[in-house]
Structures are given as C-alpha cells and as structure tokens.
Amino acid sequence: MRSRLIASLFVAVLVAACGSSAAPSPPTLPATAVPYLASVSKTLTPSLLAREAEAPSLVHRLNGWGFEAATDRYFQGESKRLQVVDSRTLRFRASSGAAAYVAFMRSHLWPYLGPYPKINAFAPGGREGILATGQECQCHLANPSFLALVAHGATVTWLEINGPGATKHGLATLIERAP
C-alpha cells in the first residue's frame, strides 16, 4: 500500500512538472548586431509589459490573445552612433494575438516615446506593423527615437533605437537581423 502511494505521488509530481513548463524564451536581436554597446537580456512577463505600457488591462488582454513568452535584449552605452537599442520578441499562440498586440500598442506608445509620436505603417521583410517616431525635442543635443512593432505569424518584433546616428534606415537594417 505504501509503495503504491509513493508511486502515485511520484507520477503526480511528474505530470505536474510537465504541465507547468513555461514556453521557451524567444530569441532577440543578437548581441553581435550592435557590438559597440553592452547588452543584457531578460524575460518579460505580462505584468511587466502592462506596467511599462501604463495599461493594467494589458495583463488580461495578453492572456486572451494567447501570449506565450517574451524576451528583451537591452543595449546601452556611449556612442556617436546608437546609445540605446531595445530589442524584444513576443510569441503568441496564433497570428491574431500578435496582430492584436501591435494594434493595442499603436495607441499606447506615449510611455516609450512621449506624447504624440508620429506613426506610419511599416512592413520590412514581409512583416507588418508600425514605425513610430518620437516627437523631437528642441534641445540642441536631442537624439531621435524610433520604435518599430511588426508581426509575422505569431511573433511580434519590437525594436527601439536612440542616439546621434539613429535613422529610420538604420532601424530597418537592424530589424532585418531580429527574429
């Protein structure tokens, strides 16, 4: 009797462990893409994404859209080219979830780019989404900021760049290297 109880508990633990495994973290822009900036990588959770977007309802929306996993690689340093590069990859169960996230973020960009970013359609390499440009500061040392959110299938690629050499063309070139 005791051995059967132990065996049952062992099987239950194995089943629970298999069922609770999180989706693997999706890749981001490789560290070698911007070798002159140091980078760190981290997993993004629905609650962190909602907090950053200043949109508490995003947690529940992500669940409804089939959010599986997200990773961020953040590059930062002093350079005459780029000083900040934020590369994120979000994975959903279906393309409809990825498209819904891009559509939602289109109207929630102010925490990242300030009020009234200029937003245009953007479709690099078969992906569809938006390219947003932060409102330029009138300071003589201000650097341009660009943020692209594009979906391809069930994957969203997010790429934000800032620095003296930041351009739309530079962003498009980098996003081609991102998953």
* Each residue's pLDDT expressed in tens, for the chain with a length of 179 residues: 444 433 343 434 333 444 445 678 999 999 999 999 999 999 999 999 999 999 999 999 999 999 999 999 999 999 999 999 999 999 999 999 999 999 999 999 999 999 889 999 999 988 999 999 997 765 656 788 999 999 999 999 999 999 999 999 999 999 999 99
The structural domains of the chain, with segments of one domain joined by +, span: 23-175
Using CB atoms within 10 A of its CB, is residue 106 exposed (0-12), middle (13-18) or buried (19+)? Answer: middle
pTM of the model: 0.85
> What whole-number distance in Å separates Cα of residue 11 and Cα of residue 128?
45
Dihedrals φ, ψ of 152, to 5°?
A: -140, 110
CATH class of 23-175: alpha beta
